[in-house]
Amino acid sequence: MSEQINMTADMDENDKAQRQLERLQATVNRACKNVPFHRNRIQETGLSDITGLEDIEKLPFMDRTHLATHYPYGLFAVPLKDIVRIHTAPGSGTSPSISGYTKTDLMIWEKMVAGAYAEANVTDRDIILVHLPPGLANWARDYKDGGEAIGAGVIPNAPLSVAKTLMVLRDYKVTTLVSTPAFARHLTAHMFDRECHPNELNLKQIILVGEPDDGHTVTELRESLHVDVWLNYGLSEIPGPAIAYECRYHDGLHMNDDHILPEIIDPSTGRPVPTGEKGELVLTTLSARAFPLIRFRTGDMAKFFPQACPCGATSTRIEWLAEQADNYMLISGIRVSQAQVRENLKNALKMPGIRCTMEKECRAGTDMLLISLIMDDHLFSDEIKHLQQMITYAEETLTEQNGIKVKIRLIQQRV
């Protein structure tokens, strides 16, 4: 019997590899035919044909600078008349990031999100509340669509205060919350401050998006709220959530590798790392018609699991690590370029030389970028009011540019 099971698993794995190869070939052919950027770069490699999945290593990488360079429609692989939805996100440069979807693309993504819900035990008897920050508005829409696809009741994203969100959770008998780790922590603290017992809620599960677990948030939420907690991995540039998701064993995240092919590389060399070692996660879309991405460097660090999952699924599993492979900061799912922030800050303050440090800080359930601006001769002004006006203007400008809250504080120069 065990021999028969092994043979079936091998057949399933071979079928999946063949399906991935065929989709990779179709993606590369479509990209070369319709997108000059892809055609020119792939021609430079001298690669004439994709004959095996290992050939993907011969293709050039993409990164976020390419998205900015070809803004807005330079990477679309279908005519605009075939585009039924255009997603835009803050982006990490001077222009927003953009991607498009055909009807087929939307159907595939809806199924991916619905599948992640199913793995989290969400059914048509559940009521889902989506609460995500403005920078993840596109993800909020995807989670709404995926929830409706499985027949669940969905409360779409709305800018409610934590107090009113708690009222909705309690009064609407919400069973599933989709949120960032920062807001989930804030909500829990608010509940206990108001002496609201978790038993007053119908909440059964929380799906966390935007960031990996910091080592204690998931455990604290489980123990404090008596709920199950699930992690979903997403990427704004593809864009979308549920690229990878946890199964009932909570042992790594399953990649939707029928539609997105993952690699893990050494960030410094670009070469694949041995299975089980950490490296930078690289993604290639296999079924996206409107906006194919080929070997996109995410900047996220991860590692593959060498062994199969006890759940029996054959999809690739990753461990999503908290560190980053590049000079970006991950704040509630939004990637922030520190170099770009410094440049924009200089422009906003109209000062050629500034010194500052950046860190992520959570205030009132919202992750934000805290910039500590070092006081020196450039920042001294006879009118403190004028200096404060400049800082306020810079905060508003950077918040708008990055899609996250930015706060600037002045600190003394250390002697």
Q: What are 215-273's pLDDT values in tens digits?
A: 899 999 999 999 999 999 998 777 789 999 999 999 999 999 999 999 999 999 999 99
- Where is 155: in which H helix or E strand? strand 153-155
Is residue 318 predicted with pLDDT exceeding 50? yes
pLDDT at 414 over 80: no
- The CATH-assigned architecture of domain 1-326 is 3-Layer(aba) Sandwich (3.40)
Query: What residue type is assigned to position 112 of the chain?
Result: M
Q: By 3-state DSSP, what share of the chain in percent is helix, strand and coil, each rounded to 5? A: 40, 25, 35
Q: How confident is the model at residue 4 (pLDDT cuts 50, 70, 90)?
A: very low
Q: Looking at residue 73, what DSSP letter applies?
A: T
Q: pLDDT tens, 165-188?
A: 999 999 999 999 999 999 999 999
Q: What percent of the chain has pLDDT over 90?
A: 67
CB 287 within 8 Å of CB 108: yes
Question: Is residue 2 pLDDT above 50, yes or no?
Answer: no
Q: Chain-wide mean pLDDT for the chain?
A: 90
User: Hey, what are 403's tokens?
Assistant: 């899609």
**Other beta carbons within 10 Å of 269:** 9
Q: What is the pLDDT of residue 91?
A: 67
> Any idea what the Cα angle at residue 134 is, between residues 110 and 193, rounded to 5°?
105
Which H/E stretch holds residue 130? strand 127-131
Instruction: Tell me the DSSP string of 141-154.
Output: HHHHHHHHHTT-EE
CB 272 within 8 A of CB 263: yes
pLDDT the model gives residue 340 = 85
Q: Which residue has the higher pLDDT, 334 or 19?
A: 19
Alpha carbon distance, N-terminus to C-terminus of the chain: 74
Beta bridge partners of 282: 263, 297
Evaluate the CA torsion angle 103, 237, 150, 172 in order and state its sign: negative
Q: What CATH number should be reported for the domain whose range is 334-412?
A: 3.30.300.30
Least confident of 68-82, 99-113, 340-354, 376-390: 376-390
Q: What is residue 177's predicted lDDT score, i.e. its pLDDT?
A: 98
Q: What is the DSSP letter of 281?
A: E
Region 92-103: mean pLDDT is: 82
The rounded radius of gyration (Å) of the Cα atoms in the chain is 23
Residue range 109-153, pLDDT digits in tens: 999 999 999 999 999 999 999 999 888 888 999 999 999 999 999
Question: What region does 332 belong to: left with phi over 0, alpha with psi -120 to 50, or beta?
Answer: left
Residue with more model confidence, 178 or 399: 178
Residue 333 has pLDDT above 80, yes or no: no
Q: Where are the domains of the chain?
A: 1-326, 334-412
pLDDT of residue 8: 43
pLDDT category at 381 given cuts 50, 70, 90 is low
Q: In Å, what is the CA distance from 267 to each residue of 12, 300, 376?
A: 32, 10, 36
Give residues with Cβ within 8 angstroms of 319, minimum separation 6: 252, 253, 302, 303, 305
